[in-house]
Amino acid sequence: MYVKVLLVDDEEIVCDGLTRFINWEELGYQVVSSASSAAQALVYMESSPVDLVISDIRMPVQNGLQLMEIIQSEYPGVRTIILSGYGEFEYARQALRLGASDFLTKPVNFGELKKLLINIKKELDLERQEERNRKEYRQIHLNHVLNSLAKGYIVDDQEEQAALAGLPWDREYCLIRIQIEKFLSEQSVLNDGKELISRIASQAADEKGSVWVFNNERSEIACFWMPQVDEDMTASYLKALTENLQNHQIEAVLGISEKHRRLVHLKEAYLEAGRALQYAMIHLDRKITYYREIDHVLLTNYRIDETLAAEILDLLASPEQWIRIESIIYSTIDAMNYEGCKPHEIQAFCIQILFMISQHLYSIHNIKSPSQTDTALFVSIRAMLLSSDVTSMKKSIADALDRMNQELNPSDQEAKSSHTIAKVQRYIDEHYAQDISLTTLSNVFFIHPIYLSRLFKEKTGKNYLDYVTEVRIMRAKELLKNPALKVYEICQMVGYDSPRYFSKLFKSLTGMTPKEYKESAHGY
């Protein structure tokens, strides 16, 4: 990135000489404009950013020192170099007291100017890197806090954690989950798509409210949205967001939670937005779905028994076991019917089973056409919603399983399992700063924690926790090479809350404390 330079001198020949006789591009600079007076320079700076102003001291109306005072007051990040004539050293000393980077006498010695520009460029590059690190730290911390609140990981000090991340605790908000449809094929493309969507979501909030964007799931982005005034602002924001997504040819579905007041209810809002997304997937023509609009069947708070879920997911690994899966589901439906469960409760169980199986298969198998698989799922769920008795529900389940089975790629099971663990590793590499327990990953990839742990060790030769630790420590080593970052900041950036525990763990794996490693890296 070039350093942008503004030249200010009432003698045009000076500005022309500086422009022509310095190879600005070679030094990493770009002369963006020149001005013949302080007033003209300030007018330019109001609309166009600059990094360095090179100005003469003696100019009519406002001199260079007066220009410097204004720059220091209104543009404190802008560097300044003062040009002074012979006998004006008192002015030059005053310029230095006002914060000028340096002063040069006229006529300008281009060799001296070049050395000065090289030093200023180094300083600016360091500042920019520090700012990028601060932004990265803030975003990592924000991701961590919002994910933890949304998924119920933070139990203590919720309000304090929110305040540290700059999040209002008691203001009306809603949660928007954006499921990406177009970028599911390649991880690199998916990551690029997420970055683009994050920028679009932030830009769409202009003058409408405040939004905090965080990376929540493998194929999702979430927006913590606070309108400035009322719900009309939310509608305006969603309109701008969806239009910009379409302009960038991004296919996405949005689920919108109910309005909530306190941040402590973010988990509830997150689940609501997720249910809205599920409903949107059933109704293929809906790109935006509000939780308040969705069908009562999906509102049923049915939770599949963990033992039953684990048994079904393990059986899915073997195509010849599909008949057993159908039998287990039939038995559960019969038991629910015998126990007097209402039809809509049995429907809710069947729908959740279909979602679980479909999402698991998409995660672990090489599906020939995800869109075809989705269509099969939606057809089955619509049929389920129209079912009024146990017999028709069973038929809908059987049809759905048959469709899903037909869509599977008949590649060998070993390749499928390796493909799954590769995706798990990529997810860990992307979310290492967050809570990524086996339970967390089982919810993302729809694989039972016990089965996932066994499969991970089999395919990588490492325990899951050891791999997470290895990724975090490798990232910590990279960050410790940056002199601008504190050890406690790096501790949080790689996913640890306790600096003491982080230091102990780091030393056990590297033989040095983080402080010792940092000093060694910088030759202290």
Whether the upstream peptide bond of residue 107 has omega within 30° of 0, thus cis, is: yes
Q: Which helix (H) or strand (E) holds 30?
A: strand 29-35
Q: Are residues 430 and 404 in the same domain?
A: no
Cβ–Cβ < 8 Å for 315, 323:
no
Domain-embedded: residue 148:
no
Q: Would you place residue 224 in the very low, low, confident or very high pLDDT band (cuts 50, 70, 90)?
A: very high
Domain-embedded: residue 142:
no
Domain-embedded: residue 77:
yes
List pLDDT tens digits, range 337-377. 889 888 888 888 888 888 778 777 665 554 444 444 456 66
- How many domains would you assign to the chain? 4
Q: Are residues 405 and 337 in the same domain?
A: yes
Q: Are residues 404 and 444 in the same domain?
A: no
* Arithmetic mean of pLDDT over the chain: 81
Whichever domain contains 488, its CATH number is: 1.10.10.60
Domain-embedded: residue 117:
no
Q: Which residue range is the domain that position 101 belongs to?
A: 3-108
Assess whether pLDDT exceeds 70 at residue 235. Answer: yes
Classify 251 as helix, strand or coil. coil
Domain-embedded: residue 143:
no
Average pLDDT over residues 479-497: 84
Q: Are residues 197 and 287 in the same domain?
A: yes
Residue 219 φ then ψ, to 5° = -120, 35
- From CA 508, how far away is CA 189, in angstroms rounded? 37
Q: Are residues 241 and 365 in the same domain?
A: no
Assess whether pLDDT exceeds 50 at residue 185. Answer: no
Q: Are residues 445 and 420 in the same domain?
A: yes
Domain-embedded: residue 119:
no
List pLDDT tens digits, range 264-284. 899 999 989 988 887 776 665
Average pLDDT over residues 250-263: 90
Whichever domain contains 362, its CATH number is: 1.20.272
Classify 300 as helix, strand or coil. coil
Task: Tell me what pLDDT residue 368 has.
Answer: 42
Backbone CA torsion sign across 368, 372, 373, 374: positive
Last residue of a domain, one of 370, 386, 410: 410
Q: Are residues 84 and 209 in the same domain?
A: no
List pLDDT tens digits, range 125-157. 888 887 777 777 777 778 888 888 888 776 567
Placement of tokens 């003062």 in the chain: 82
Assess whether pLDDT exceeds 60 at residue 296. Answer: no
Q: Are residues 335 and 437 in the same domain?
A: no
Q: Are residues 162 and 278 in the same domain?
A: yes
- 6-10, 13-17, 180-184: which range is least confident on average? 180-184
Q: Is the pTM of this model over 0.85?
A: no
Domain-embedded: residue 422:
yes
- From CA 210, how far away is CA 165, in angstroms rounded? 14
Q: Would you place residue 89 in the very low, low, confident or very high pLDDT band (cuts 50, 70, 90)?
A: low
Cβ–Cβ < 8 Å for 180, 167:
no
Q: Are residues 265 and 382 in the same domain?
A: no
| CB-facing half-sphere around the CA of 184: CA atoms within 13 A | 19
Last residue of a domain, one of 273, 294, 315: 294
List pLDDT tens digits, range 408-466. 655 545 555 666 787 788 888 878 887 788 877 876 776 767 778 888 888 888 888 89
- From CA 440, how far away is CA 196, in angstroms rounded? 25
Q: Which residues of 297-306 are buried (b: 16+ CB within 10 A; e: fewer)?
A: bbebebeeee
Q: Are residues 428 and 388 in the same domain?
A: no
| CB-facing half-sphere around the CA of 377: CA atoms within 13 A | 27
Task: Tell me what pLDDT residue 96 has.
Answer: 72
Domain-embedded: residue 118:
no
* Residue 101 CB coordination number (10 Å): 18
Alpha helices in 181-321, H assignment, sequence order? 187-204, 231-247, 266-282, 296-299, 306-315
Q: CB within 8 A of 57, min separation 6: which ones?
A: 63, 64, 65, 82, 83, 84, 85, 88, 91, 92, 95
Task: Tell me what pLDDT residue 20 has.
Answer: 86
Give Cα separations from 153 to 161, 164, 273, 303, 437 (angstroms). Answer: 12, 17, 18, 19, 11
Q: Are residues 271 and 254 in the same domain?
A: yes
Whichever domain contains 10, its CATH number is: 3.40.50.2300
Helix orientation angle between 449-460 and 306-315, rounded to the nearest 10 degrees:
40
Last residue of a domain, one of 348, 377, 410: 410
- From CA 67, how far away is CA 35, in angstroms rounded? 12
Contacts of residues 456-460 at CB distance under 8 Å and 24 or more positions apart, as own/partner, are 456/421, 456/424, 458/417, 459/417, 459/418, 459/421, 460/421, 460/425
Whichever domain contains 215, its CATH number is: 3.30.70.270
